[in-house]
Structure 1
Amino acid sequence: MTQQPTSDERRPASGGQKAAARNRAALIAAAREIYAEHGLDAPLSAIARRAGVGQGVLYRHFPDRSALAMAVLEENVRQIERAAASDGVDLAQVLGVLTWHQTESTAFVGVLHADGAASRSGTPAYAVELSQRVERALRRLLPAGHPLASQREDLMIAVGMVSGAVTGPTREHRERRARAAWRLLGVEVGPVRPYEE
Structure 2
Amino acid sequence: MTVTRRPNRGPGAAAENRAALIAAAREVFADAGYDAPLTTVARVAGVGQGSLYRHFPDRVSLALAVFEDSVADLEALAAEPGTTLADMLALLTEQTIASTAFIDMVSVPSAGDLRVVEVRDRVAGLLAGTLAEARRAGRLREDVTADDLVLAVGMLAGLLARLPAAERRTTAERVWALLRHGIEPRPVSGG
Q: What TM bracket, shorter-length normalisation?
A: 0.5 to 0.7
Alpha-carbon RMSD: 3.2
Which residue matches 2:184? none
TM-score by length of 1: 0.65
Alpha-carbon offset, residue 180 of structure 1: 1.7
Match of 2:140 in 1: 148
Q: 2:113 & 2:138 partners in 1: Cα distance?
A: 31
**Which of 48, 61, 71 is residue 65 of structure 2 equivalent to?**
71
TM-score w.r.t. structure 2 length? 0.67
Give 1 or 2 for the bigger CA radius of gyration: 1
How many pairs align?
A: 166
Partners of 1:177 and 1:49 lie apart in 2 by: 32
Cα distance in 2 for partners of 1:161, 1:58 equals 33
Q: Percent identity?
A: 40
Deviation at 1:41, TM superposition (A): 3.8
CA separation of 1:25/1:127 partners in 2, compared to 1, >3 Å: closer, same or farther? Answer: same
Aligned partner of 2:127 among 132, 138, 144? 138
Is the Cα contact below 8 Å between 1:162 and 1:178 reproduced in 2?
A: no
- Alignment-derived partner of residue 108 in structure 1: 103
Query: Structure 2, unaligned stretches of length 5 or more?
Result: 1-8, 182-191
Residues 1:185 and 2:176 are matched in the alignment = no
**Contact 1:83/1:89 (<8 A) preserved:** yes
Name which of 21, 26, 32 aligns with 1:32.
26
Instruction: Name the CA distance, whole Å, in 2 between partners of 1:109 and 1:137.
Output: 17
The alignment status of 1:171 with 2:162, answered yes or no, reads no
Q: Report the 3-state secondary structure (helix = DSSP H, G, I; strand = E; otherwise coil) of the residue aligned with 1:186.
A: helix
* Larger fraction in helix: 2
2:151 alignment partner AA = G
The 2-side partners of 1:179 and 1:90 are apart by 18
Which consecutive residues of structure 1, in runs of 5 or more, have no partner in the other structure? 1-10, 188-197
SS where residue 138 of structure 1 aligns?
A: helix
- 1:146: Cα distance to partner? 4.6
Task: Measure, in 2, the Cα distance between the counterparts of 1:89 and 1:158.
Answer: 16
Alpha-carbon distance, 1:88 to partner: 5.6
For the pair 1:124 / 2:116, whether they are aligned, the reply is no
Distance in 2 (CA, whole Å) between partners of 1:57 and 1:161 is 37
Shift of 1:98: 0.8
1:37 Cα deviation from its structure 2 partner: 1.9
Structure-2 separation of matches of 1:48 and 1:186: 41
